[in-house]
Amino acid sequence: MALSGTVYGTTNNTYIDVRITWSATQNIAANTSTISATAQVMKDSASTSGTFGTASMSLYIDGTVVKNNTSYLSIPADGVWRTVMTGSKTVTHASNGTKSFTLDFVGGIPGTSYTVTNFAYTGTLDTIPRNSLLTSFAAFTYGGGETVNLSVGTTSYSADFTANFQLKLGSTSIGTWTANLNGTTQTHSLSLTTAQQNTIMSLTPTTTSAILTMYLTTKYGTTTIGTTSLNTTGSLSTSVVPILSSVTVAEGNSAVSAITTKKLKNLSNLNVNFSAYSANGSASIVSFSSTFMGATYSGSNFNTGTLSSSGSYALVSTITDSRGRTATLSQDIIVSDYAVPSVTSFTVQRCNSAGVLDDMGTYVKVKRAGTVTSIYDTSEKNTITAKIYSKLKSSSTWTLKHTEVGTTLSAINDTLSPLSGYLTTSTYDFKFELIDKFFTTTSLTVVSTGGVVMSWGEKGIGIGKILDTSTDVNRVLDVGGNTNISGNTTISGDTTVGGDLNVSSFASNTKEALVDLIYPIGSIYITVSTTNPSILFPGTTWSAYAAGRVLVGQDTANSNFDTLEETGGSADAVVVSHSHRQKMNSNDNGLGNHSWHVGVPDDASSKWGAFPVDVTATTSTRSYVYTETVGASGTDKNLQPYIVVNMWKRIS
C-alpha cells in the first residue's frame, strides 16, 4: 500500500524506456483518493540517433483514459527522461476504506522504430480510516435513583462523521444515543436514565453486577461506515437493598393477653410475623430469619415457644433478597418476671378457742405464708386468693374452711382465727391453696390426734398422742413427737414417717443397697457436674455416655429405634430449600381451560373452606401446582433446641 511511486514498462525499441510516476491524495470524509500520474520516456545514449515523429499515446488511470498525446514528440538519445503527458483521476474506495487501482501507458510514434509501449501496473492505495474506534468505556454504578453519566472514549477520522451509540445487556437494548465526532480523540458523556437503569436491574434480579456492551456505529450522512464494541462492568448501587419496615410481635398466650400487654416469663409465647417488607431493584425476598433469646428462627412467621427468662432481649429480624442483600430490623422485647404462687410456710396446730396451743384442743391454729408475682401494667393485673381446706384423714372429700381474696397484691403472712370442730381422737389433713390469675399452688399438712403421754387402744398404744386407728384398724403403735432409738432397729414391715428421719449411720451394706436400688447397672446418670459418679457412689464404675447425642425412647416398630443403644442421625445433615409439587387431574380430556379449586374441607359436606386457591390453565388432563420454596440450605440447619449436660452409664 502506498500513496506514491514510480513504475516502469517496455517498448518495441530496445533503446527506449518508459515509466509512470504517480501520487495520490485522500479525502477521508468522502472515502476517495485522487491519483495523479505522469508518463515519461527516455532513449539510451548508447543509441546512435534519436526518435522523432507525431505521437499516438494514451495514459490510463484505473481503466480510464485520462490523457492522450498526438503531438510531435522528439526523443533524443541522451538518457534524459522526458514527460509525455500528465493526468489525474479521483477513485472511490471500498466501504472498508481499501482500494486497488491500475496504471497503463500505451502507444508510440507511428512510422518509427518505437510503435508499441508495454505497460500494465496494479497498485494498492493506503486504506482510508473509516470506522471510528471505542477507546474506553468506564465502569459505572447503576440503581442509585439518579441519572448516571456514562463515560465513553472514541477516536474518529472525520468531523463529518456522526456516532450512534447503543448500550446492550446480552441481547437486550438498554438505550441509544447520537453524538457528533470531531475527527480526533474525544470523550462522550451519555446519560443513563433511571428507567434505563431499572431495565438493567430487571435483567439481573440475582446479581449485583453485569457485563454491558457499548456499540459504536459510525455514520457518514445516512451511510454506515462500520460498527465496533467495547465491554465494561456495571455495578449495582449499595443503596439497592430490601426494606423491612415492620415485624409484629403478638402474645401467643390468650390468658396473658387478656389481662396485660406485658410479656411474662414462663407464661408468654410470642407470635412473630414479618408484616411489612419489600424487595428493591426487581429482586425478590428469598429468606427470613430471626434471632431472639439465643435461638435462631426461620420463616416469615413463627412462635418462640414459652419464654423461659426475664429481662430485655433484642429480637433481630432479617430478610435476604435474591441478590444476597439484607435488611435488618431490631426491637427490644422486655420480658417481666413471673413465678407461680409460692407457699413459703404452712402450719396447723391444735389449740383452744382463744388460739392458745393445746395438744388436746379441738380447735386448730393456722399459720400461712406465701407470695404471688406482681404484674403492674398501669394498674395491678394479678390477683391473690388464699383458701384453707380440711378433711378427715380417712375421707376423700375436702371442706373449704376459709377463703380470702386480696384487694391489693401483697404477700400472705398471717395467722387465722382458730378453726373449730377437730376431735382429739381423729387425724385431719389440711390444704392451703394460693391462687393467682394463672396458677394454684397447694401445700398439705396433717394434724394428728390429741397429744397425751400414752393412750391405749384395743390392739395398740399411742405414745405422745391418742392412738389413731381411723386409717388402719390394725395399728399397734402410733408415735407423736420426736423419737430417739439408741440401739439397732429392724423394721420388717411398712413404715410411715411423717417428719424428718435422721439416721446417724447405716448398716454396712445399706448404702450400697440404696445405690443399687436407685441406680442398678445399666442406669443413666444425668448431671451438669463434671464429677464422675464413682466418686459420689463408692464401689461403682461409670463411663461417659452419648457424647454429642440426645436420647430417644425405644420403638420396636421402627427400625431406626428398635435396638437399645443403637445410634443414628447426623448433626451435619444438609437441608436443602425446596418446594412441593401437587398433581391435579381434570375430568376433561384434551387441551383447554381447566379449573381446580384447592383448599381444606371445612365440614362434613366437603365444602372447600380455609385457604382456597383457584387454578385455571390451558392444559391437557394433568397439571402441577408448586408451593413456595422454603427452608434454608446448608449444614447444621436441622439441630433441635438443646442444652448440654454430662451423662454417665453405670457399668459395674
Q: What's residue 183's pLDDT?
A: 87
Query: 153 with 128: CB under 8 angstroms?
Result: no
In DSSP notation, 330-395 reads: EEEEEEE-----EEEEEEEEEE-TTS-B-TT-SEEEEEEEEE----BSSSB----EEEEEEEETT-
When pLDDT is averaged across residues 363-377 and rounded to a whole number, the result is 93
342-447: what fold?
Immunoglobulin-like (2.60.40)
Q: What's residue 600's pLDDT?
A: 46
Higher pLDDT, 566 or 106: 106
In DSSP notation, 195-210 reads: HHHHHHHHH-TT-SEE
Q: Where are the domains of the chain?
A: 4-125, 133-236, 243-336, 342-447, 510-544, 581-626
pTM: 0.58
In CATH terms, are 4-125 and 133-236 the same topology? yes
Specify the CATH number for 243-336; select among 2.60.40.10, 2.60.40.420, 3.30.360.10, 3.40.50.970: 2.60.40.10
Query: 131 with 161: CB under 8 angstroms?
Result: no
Spatial separation of the C-alpha atoms in residues 130 and 49, rounded to whole Å: 53
Spatial separation of the C-alpha atoms in residues 295 and 302, rounded to whole Å: 12
- Edge-first strand order for the sheet with 311-321 is 263-264, 326-336, 311-321, 285-292, 295-298
Strand partners, 168: 173, 213
Higher pLDDT, 284 or 634: 284
Listed residue (278, 289, 292) closest to 245, CA to CA: 278
User: Per residue in 47-80, pLDDT tens?
Assistant: 889 999 999 999 999 999 999 999 999 999 999 9
Give the H or E element holding residue 468. none
Q: What's residue 284's pLDDT?
A: 97
Listed residue (480, 382, 398) closest to 432, CA to CA: 398
Q: What's residue 609's pLDDT?
A: 44
The band of 619, judged by pLDDT with boundaries at 50, 70 and 90, is very low
Q: What are phi and psi of 212, to 5 degrees?
A: -115, 150
Q: What's residue 605's pLDDT?
A: 46
The band of 559, judged by pLDDT with boundaries at 50, 70 and 90, is confident
Return mean pLDDT, the chain: 86
User: Per residue in 469-528, pLDDT tens?
Assistant: 666 656 667 676 667 676 667 666 666 665 566 666 655 566 677 888 899 999 998 998
Percent of the chain with pLDDT strictly greater than 90: 62
User: Per residue in 204-251, pLDDT tens?
Assistant: 999 999 999 999 999 988 888 889 999 999 999 999 999 999 999 999
User: Per residue in 514-551, pLDDT tens?
Assistant: 888 899 999 998 998 888 888 888 889 988 888 878 89
4-125: what fold?
Immunoglobulin-like (2.60.40)
Q: What's residue 516's pLDDT?
A: 85
| Rg of the chain in Å (alpha carbons) | 55
The band of 561, judged by pLDDT with boundaries at 50, 70 and 90, is confident
Spatial separation of the C-alpha atoms in residues 240 and 282, rounded to whole Å: 10
Query: Half-sphere exposure of 213 toward its Cβ, with a 13 Å CA cutoff?
Result: 12
3-state secondary structure of 321: strand
Q: What's residue 608's pLDDT?
A: 44
Residue type, 304: T
The band of 602, judged by pLDDT with boundaries at 50, 70 and 90, is very low
User: Per residue in 176-215, pLDDT tens?
Assistant: 999 999 989 999 999 999 999 999 999 999 999 999 999 9
Spatial separation of the C-alpha atoms in residues 314 and 3, rounded to whole Å: 82
Given a cut of 80, is residue 440 above it in pLDDT? yes
Residue type, 594: H
Contacts of 121 (CB under 8 A, 6+ apart): 7, 9, 20, 102, 103, 104
The band of 81, judged by pLDDT with boundaries at 50, 70 and 90, is very high
| CATH architecture label of 133-236 | Sandwich (2.60)
Q: What's residue 509's pLDDT?
A: 67
Spatial separation of the C-alpha atoms in residues 446 and 100, rounded to whole Å: 127
Listed residue (149, 23, 180) closest to 89, CA to CA: 23
Given a cut of 60, is residue 90 above it in pLDDT? yes
